[in-house]
Amino acid sequence: MNRKLRDYLILLSIAGLILALDQWTKWLVRETLPLRGTWLPSWLDWLSPYARIVHWNNSGAAFGMFQQGNLIFTILAFVVIGAILYYYPRVEAEDWTLRLAMGLQLGGAAGNLVDRLLMGRVTDFISVSIFPVFNIADASITVGVLVLLLGVWLKERLAKKRAQDESSLEGMESRG
173 assigned to some structural domain: no
Res 176 pLDDT > 70: no
Task: List CB contacts of 25: < 8 A, sequence separation 6 or more.
Answer: 125, 135, 136
50 assigned to some structural domain: yes
Res 14 pLDDT > 70: yes
Backbone angles phi, psi at 60, to 5 degrees: -105, -145
Give the pLDDT score at 110.
98
Give the pLDDT score at 62.
58
Res 133 pLDDT > 80: yes
Q: Of the listed 7, 22, 45, 124, which one is catalytic?
A: 124
- For 146-155, what is each residue's pLDDT tens digit? 999 999 999 9
Euclidean distance between CA atoms 67 and 166, whole angstroms: 52
Active-site annotation holds for 45:
no
171 assigned to some structural domain: no
Give the pLDDT score at 64.
57
Give the pLDDT score at 1.
66
54 assigned to some structural domain: yes
Q: Which of 12-26, 39-53, 83-97, 157-171 has the lowest mean pLDDT?
A: 157-171
pTM for this entry = 0.85
- For 27-61, what is each residue's pLDDT tens digit? 999 999 999 999 999 999 999 889 999 999 987 76
33 assigned to some structural domain: yes
Closest CA to 3 of 94, 82, 83: 94
48 assigned to some structural domain: yes
68 assigned to some structural domain: yes
Number of domains the chain is built from:
1
* DSSP state string for the chain: --HHHHHHHHHHHHHHHHHHHHHHHHHHHHHHS-TT-EE--GGGGGGTTTEEEEEEEESSSGGG-STT-HHHHHHHHHHHHHHHHHHGGGS-TT-HHHHHHHHHHHHHHHHHHHHHHHHSSEEEEEEETTSPPB-HHHHHHHHHHHHHHHHHHHHHHHHHHHHHHHHHHHHHHHH-
61 assigned to some structural domain: yes
- For 80-114, what is each residue's pLDDT tens digit? 999 999 999 999 988 999 999 999 999 999 999 99
Euclidean distance between CA atoms 77 and 175, whole angstroms: 57
What own/partner pairs with CB < 8 Å and gap ≥ 24 does 74-79 have?
A: 74/113, 74/116, 74/117, 77/109, 77/110, 77/112, 77/113, 77/116, 78/113
Q: Of the listed 7, 22, 95, 138, which one is catalytic?
A: 138
Closest CA to 140 of 53, 50, 35, 16: 16
Range of the domain at 141: 3-165
Active-site annotation holds for 22:
no
